[in-house]
Amino acid sequence: MRSGLLRVVRREVYALVGAPRSWQQTAMAAVLAAGDGAVASHATAARLWAFTYLPAESVDVTVERDCQPGLAGVRRTTILPETDVTERFGIPCTSFERTLCDCTTILSHFQLGRVLDDGLRRNLASLARLTECVFRLDSGPGRRLRVIQQLLVERDGSFHPGGSASELRVLEVLKQAGVPPPVQQYRVRVDSRNYELDFAWPEQRVFAEYYGLPIHSGASAVAYDSSRLTALVAEGWRPLVFTDSTPDHEIVQRAQRVLAAAQ
């Protein structure tokens, strides 16, 4: 400090002068200042996991209840097993599943569901691990486990998160209308190439695709989609293509019409 090489970040935590400042540095400093066994949690862990919906920004750290760090933003718990602790970007933090449970009073049921589905899509979350996490924890002033339990009920062993939240919207619309449930992420081989279809009714050789603008725009994407669609149609598959602008009633009508024609 006297030589000017270090600056104080937190109590007993220092950084090299001139080192780039970042949000991750702030989070790590809070964990180090809280002492051994401390982990980033709640809003801080949610940001580390890149939750689809983020709580209001704050620096949150969880420690064992018998620790007395005396720092703002520090939460104490009696339940912090090793299975609920991991690292992101080198920063000790609560697991994806534990973070989801800890955010049940600051995110809505809808938001938590979207976060969970995105975690499943990115292979960061597991329904089995989430079930085990809920079993270990208790509900209380800062945690509403009934919300997580309901999310698990809505996602049984056959649940697939699909490629996006919009894909799940299409699936839900079809289910509510009584359309026979399709197979999600169905793989088919055509002309020595493997394709993964968003939805498929293999017996009727009907498939449905959701075209989201961020992924399906641009010259290369249009060329690939056109080639793929042409190859599948040539093999006798009937296509259904939906976008965000396709109304729910049109999704149902088109699916029913094409499935009926394929009988």
| pLDDT tens, position by position, 53-67 | 988 888 899 988 655
CATH 3.40.960.10 boundaries in the chain: 165-261
The whole-number pLDDT of residue 257 equals 93
The whole-number pLDDT of residue 156 equals 77
Tokens of 25: 């540095």
- Beta strands per DSSP E along 32-181: 39-40, 61-64, 74-77, 85-88, 91-94
Angle at 111 between CA 109 and CA 112, to 5 degrees: 65
The whole-number pLDDT of residue 171 equals 86
The whole-number pLDDT of residue 144 equals 92
> In angstroms, rounded to a whole number, what is the distance separating the alpha carbons of residues 50 and 200?
31
> Which helix or strand (DSSP H or E) is residue 32 part of?
helix 23-34
The whole-number pLDDT of residue 195 equals 87
The whole-number pLDDT of residue 155 equals 86
The whole-number pLDDT of residue 140 equals 74
Alpha-carbon distance values, 79 to 28, 87, 136, 168 (Å): 22, 18, 8, 34
Written out in words, the top-level CATH class of the domain with range 165-261 is alpha beta
The whole-number pLDDT of residue 73 equals 62
Which segments of the chain have a pLDDT < 70? 65-73, 213-221
> In angstroms, rounded to a whole number, what is the distance separating the alpha carbons of residues 189 and 141?
52
> In angstroms, rounded to a whole number, what is the distance separating the alpha carbons of residues 139 and 195?
44
Predicted confidence (pLDDT) per residue in 139-177, tens digit? 777 889 999 999 999 887 777 777 777 788 888 899 899
